[in-house]
Amino acid sequence: MCGTKLQVAIKEPGGRVSVAMAQVFVQGERFDTPPLIGDRGPLPKGAYRVELLGHFDHDWQSDQVMRAMDGGMNLRGPGITRARDGSAALFLTREARL
């Protein structure tokens, strides 16, 4: 069974470009990423912004997930946003230090 697909991105504060990123699947209410390292190896200590993104459309999600989410159209709550076509997405950000 395939879970919800998420993208985890790490960016410098105020930055637009990800310094590290992974796409993962939620399994049993959890997810695990491979080590998130930058182009030049481990990220230096400092402040970063962590972004979690999950689109609820057929390009990202399995048929099982889409059925469970009723196509994503009825999703509401913190982090839920809408695309121009009305499809749902989850977008959460947190500031963190390494």
Give, for all 98 residues of the chain, the pLDDT tens digit.
467 889 999 999 889 999 999 999 888 889 999 999 998 899 999 999 999 998 877 777 778 877 777 766 777 788 888 877 777 888 999 999 98
Q: Is the CA virtual torsion 51, 57, 58, 62 positive or negative?
A: positive
Q: pTM surpassing 0.85?
A: no
Structural domain boundaries, residue 51: 5-97
Q: What domain count does the chain have?
A: 1
